[in-house]
């Protein structure tokens, strides 16, 4: 009985995390985060890397931006993006970026084409 309950709870957590990851990924691309931070959230010389950064740090920064606390032009731009995020959006985005898994183009193409090597 205890094993069944634990299995049920674990399955629920995994599915919830997958949903959060997928919502975060959708937000990352639909809100054009990839335009500055890169398609793999790898960052650049002007914009920070976000992939696999600790969730607590990402949450802190997103809340900071949403509150309008900025000290540079690029951060003012981030505040404009963050203002439109709900608390759930912030959680999902931070979860996605903290657990980021790079998807290889070949994997996606093979999956779409139904090719199994």
Q: Can you give the residue ranges of every domain in the chain? A: 2-113
**5-44 tens-digit pLDDT:** 444 444 444 444 689 999 999 999 999 999 999 999 999 9
The CATH number of domain 2-113 is 1.10.760.10: yes
* Cα distance between residue 64 and residue 59, in whole Å: 8
pTM score of the predicted model: 0.73
* Dihedral angle, C-alpha 83, 86, 61, 35, nearest 10 °: -70
pLDDT value of position 13: 44
User: pLDDT at residue 45 above 80?
Assistant: yes
* Cα distance between residue 93 and residue 97, in whole Å: 6
């Amino acid at each position: 009985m205890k094993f069944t309950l634990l299995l049920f709870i674990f399955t629920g957590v995994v599915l919830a995390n997958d949903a959060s990851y997928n919502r975060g990924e959708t937000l990352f691309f639909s809100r054009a985060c990839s335009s500055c931070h890169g398609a793999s959230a790898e960052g650049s010389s002007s914009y920070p890397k976000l992939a696999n950064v600790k969730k607590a740090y990402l949450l802190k920064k997103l809340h900071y931006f949403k509150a309008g606390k900025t000290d540079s032009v690029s951060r003012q731009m981030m505040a404009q993006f963050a203002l439109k995020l709900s608390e759930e959006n912030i959680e999902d985005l931070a979860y996605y970026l903290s657990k980021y898994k790079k998807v290889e183009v070949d994997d996606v193409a093979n999956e779409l084409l139904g090719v199994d090597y």
